[in-house]
Amino acid sequence: MIRIVVVDDHPAMRTGLRTVLDAEPGLVFVGESAGDEESLWPLLRSVDPDVVLLDYHLPRGDGLQLCHRIKRDVLAPKVLVHSAYAGGALAVPARMAGADGLVDKGIGARELFEAIRVIHRGEPLLPAVSQTLLEELYERVAVDDRPILGLLLNGAGKSDVAAALGMNVGDVHAAVTRMLGRLRVEVPAARGM
């Protein structure tokens, strides 16, 4: 049984996910949150899910910042980021935030179930990033943060990065938060709102 928490600000999406997850053998829906601080953390602590299905575009803050915070926990659940714009541009910050997988919101139920099972087995599920896009994203983060980004994308953990660069882990986390802000993928046309 894979126990799943759904974090999405849209009620229709939450209801839809609850319905399909409940109907699927082997998966069980154990709770939902709109992504607000008040409900999310108590929920995660009380139900202790195996997988968090996390929306990227949330009204307050973004899903990857939440993911980054969830994954700092020692017994963190697997996180599958669920976004309407799951392309390469989101794969880089998703990897940095420690997400286990990234899937498009437009995929069908079967594919979603499969993705949940894959990341639950511990296999990463992140789209490939082209070299050109990678260079473009490097340009967007501060020069001081680029070595951290490079190490993280090569698969190093936060503590490995801290050791390699002679920093403390808190500073690495702060850098990740900063870079997630710089690499935010906006909803088309909703910039500046």
Partner 1 sequence: MVGVEASCQPGPHEMPRRGRDRRVTAPRPGSEPSVPYLARLPSRHQLVSTIAGVRRHLVGPGGQWLALLVAGRLLASAVAVWLLVLGPLSGVDLVLLAYGPVTTAIIVARPSLRRRRATWALDSLLALACVVISSDWRSPFYMLWLTTLALPAVCLPLRRAAWLAAASPVLYLAVAFLWGAGPRPDRLTSETLAIHLLLPVVLVGGLAYAADALRRLQDERSERERLAIEAERRRIAWELHDSAKQRLHAAHLLVSSLNGGVPSALAPVVHGAATELESAAADMDTSLSELREPLEGRPLHEALRSRAAELHRADGPRISVSGSAPSLSPLVSAHLYRIGCEAITNALRHADASTIDVHLEPDADTFRLRVRDDGRGLPTERRPMATGLVAMEGRAATIGARLTVQSPPTGAGTVVMLELPTSEEAR
Is 25 one of the binding residues for partner 1 (CB under 8 A)? no
Burial class of residue 179 (count of CB atoms within 10 Å of its CB; 0-12, 13-18, 19+): buried
- Distance between CA atoms of residues 84 and 145, nearest Å: 28
The first and second tokens of residue 192, run together, are 């500046």
Q: List binders of partner 1 among 51-80 (CB under 8 A).
A: 57
Which of residues 26, 42, 87, 157 is near partner 1 by CB under 8 A? 87
Taking the complex as a whole, how short is the minimal distance between the CB of residue 71 and partner 1, in angstroms?
25
From first CA to last CA, the distance across the chain in angstroms is 41
The first and second tokens of residue 67, run together, are 């993911």
Decide whether 141 or 161 has the Cβ nearer to partner 1.
141
Q: What are phi and psi of 97, to 5 degrees?
A: -80, -5
Is 28 one of the binding residues for partner 1 (CB under 8 A)? no
Decide whether 23 or 164 has the Cβ nearer to partner 1.
23
Binding site for partner 1 (CB under 8 A): 10, 12-13, 15-17, 19-20, 23-24, 57, 84, 87-89, 105-106, 108-110, 112, 128-133, 135-136, 187-193
